[in-house]
Amino acid sequence: MKRFSFILVTLLIVSGLLLAACAAPGAPAPSPSPSGSPVTERPAPLPAPTGGMTAAEQQLYEAAKKEGELIIWSNTWRHDTIEHLFSDRYPGIKVSVWDGPQGTALVAQFLEEAKAGKTSLDLFFGSTADLLPALDKGVLKPYNWPNAVGMAPPPQHLLYFTHTATARAPAYNTKMVSPAEAPKKWEDLMSPRWKGKAIMSTSGETSTLMFAYLWREGNTLAWDKATKFWKDARAATNASVARGFSTTLELLAAGEYDIFLLSSLGVTFPLIWKGAPIAIAPVGKVGAVSWSAAIMKNAPHPAATQLFADFFSRPESMAYYADAFAETSLSSVAQKMQKIGKEYQRVGVEVEPVPAEHDTEANNAKSVDLWREITALRR
């Protein structure tokens, strides 16, 4: 990669701020924007949750103010979004967010800390799959997130709260690929047009589950079909593999590749809104996989942690968060407040999240193993 292009793209990404969200499941078939033109406008944010505090909320707030701080770890955070609204409603509590590397690395780090009797964070936000290794380690606190409404039943252990889903679709460089050339269906990824010009990412390890559900037969997950498709797509395109969605999109935007076979729309949209030469391929139905939040059992700021959890699980907060992170809220009430559905229709994708009955720990673990096999770096 040319150093100058890399620097420009990196600065562009660092400067980007995400404000978007996803279409609710069951939405009408999307209508792509004219001539496949990329979306360049982000939706306006929802207003912050309002209303007076209940007596219990006021008491919890007073305890949280004495603690004075809340610490969140995440690998997908968009700063000055939901934590800004929280601070507006509850002044006097400093919210510190570490937007770290891959979620698996963050989980591994807090598990190592726990072995030494240390807990540096209050809350973790990441993919549901990232949290799987922590479920039996005694480091997470069960909590019922009481203000959540319109949600599927939570897991019985209550160790995490599954709140949104992120869609994935192909993305292409608009300087290298015309709208007419862009894939219009998933099978178009097999075209010779992309041979030697495609890239994939090791991130998105729940993608196998996403496609096993998207291409299901009745209610049976199509694991073999999903795995074969992505192995064949990689072979047909001789796709390179990079680590992380952001890094892969940097390479795409710099013109090192024409197409990113499966990008996270939550990472792609903000770059488009900031002018990166990237567009989303209008492939129709796309899958989406879940993101969850978990509370640490020995959180250093327990009152502030509970206050944030109760604030976050309000429908207004969940809708704002989902819009800001370009995701689909899994609350049917919050979905009605979201604004990003129209954006997805404009680019020609229809989001179909994996439902709770299939978004299980066992299926996530299986998906991780299969995606690692699909994207294994060749020697």
- Kindly state whether residue 344 falls inside one of the protein's structural domains: no
Tokens of 293: 């939040």
Q: What is the pLDDT at residue 324?
A: 84
210 close to 168: Cβ distance less than 8 angstroms? yes
Residues 100 and 203 in one domain: no
pLDDT at 255 over 70: yes
Residues 366 and 234 in one domain: yes
Residues 300 and 244 in one domain: no
For the chain, what is the domain count?
A: 2
pLDDT at 166 over 80: yes
More confident residue, 35 or 260: 260
Residues 326 and 279 in one domain: no
Tokens of 79: 């700063």
Poorest-confidence range of 9-13, 267-271, 307-311, 319-323? 9-13
Residues 229 and 361 in one domain: yes
The letter for the amino acid at 132 is L
- Kindly state whether residue 50 falls inside one of the protein's structural domains: no
Round to whole Å and give the CA distance between 125 and 147.
18
- The CATH number of residue 262's host domain is 3.40.190.10
DSSP label at residue 366: H
The per-residue pLDDT for range 61-114, each reduced to its tens digit, is 999 999 999 999 998 787 778 888 899 999 999 999 998 777 888 999 999 999
Round to whole Å and give the CA distance between 246 and 75.
11
Residue 225: burial class (beta carbons within 10 Å; 0-12, 13-18, 19+): middle
pLDDT at 15 over 50: no
The per-residue pLDDT for range 275-297, each reduced to its tens digit, is 999 999 999 999 988 889 999 99
pLDDT band at 132 (very low <50, low <70, confident <90, very high): confident
The letter for the amino acid at 142 is P
Alpha carbon dihedral 14, 19, 22, 24, in 10-degree steps, equals: 160
Q: Which domain holds residue 248?
A: 23-30+166-289+354-374
Residues 159 and 171 in one domain: no
The per-residue pLDDT for range 305-341, each reduced to its tens digit, is 999 999 999 999 999 998 888 888 889 899 888 887 7
- Kindly state whether residue 370 falls inside one of the protein's structural domains: yes
Round to whole Å and give the CA distance between 180 and 83.
41
Q: Taking the CB of residue 378, how many other CB atoms lie within 10 A of it?
A: 7
pLDDT at 20 over 50: no
Residues 212 and 331 in one domain: no
pLDDT at 188 over 60: yes
Residues 152 and 225 in one domain: no
- Kindly state whether residue 322 falls inside one of the protein's structural domains: yes
Round to whole Å and give the CA distance between 290 and 354.
8
pLDDT band at 213 (very low <50, low <70, confident <90, very high): very high
- Kindly state whether residue 341 falls inside one of the protein's structural domains: no
Round to whole Å and give the CA distance between 287 and 212.
9
- Kindly state whether residue 199 falls inside one of the protein's structural domains: yes
Distance of CA 60 to the CA centre of its chain: 30
Q: Extract the runs of DSSP E, i.e. beta strands, from the chain.
A: 69-74, 94-99, 123-127, 140-141, 161-173, 198-201, 240-242, 259-264, 278-280, 284-296, 328-329, 349-353
- Kindly state whether residue 347 falls inside one of the protein's structural domains: no
Residues 96 and 150 in one domain: yes
Q: Whose structure tokens read 């608009």?
A: 174
Residues 317 and 366 in one domain: no
Residue 361: burial class (beta carbons within 10 Å; 0-12, 13-18, 19+): middle
- Kindly state whether residue 340 falls inside one of the protein's structural domains: no
Phi, psi of 227 (to 5 degrees): -65, -45
Residues 231 and 150 in one domain: no
Residues 178 and 241 in one domain: yes
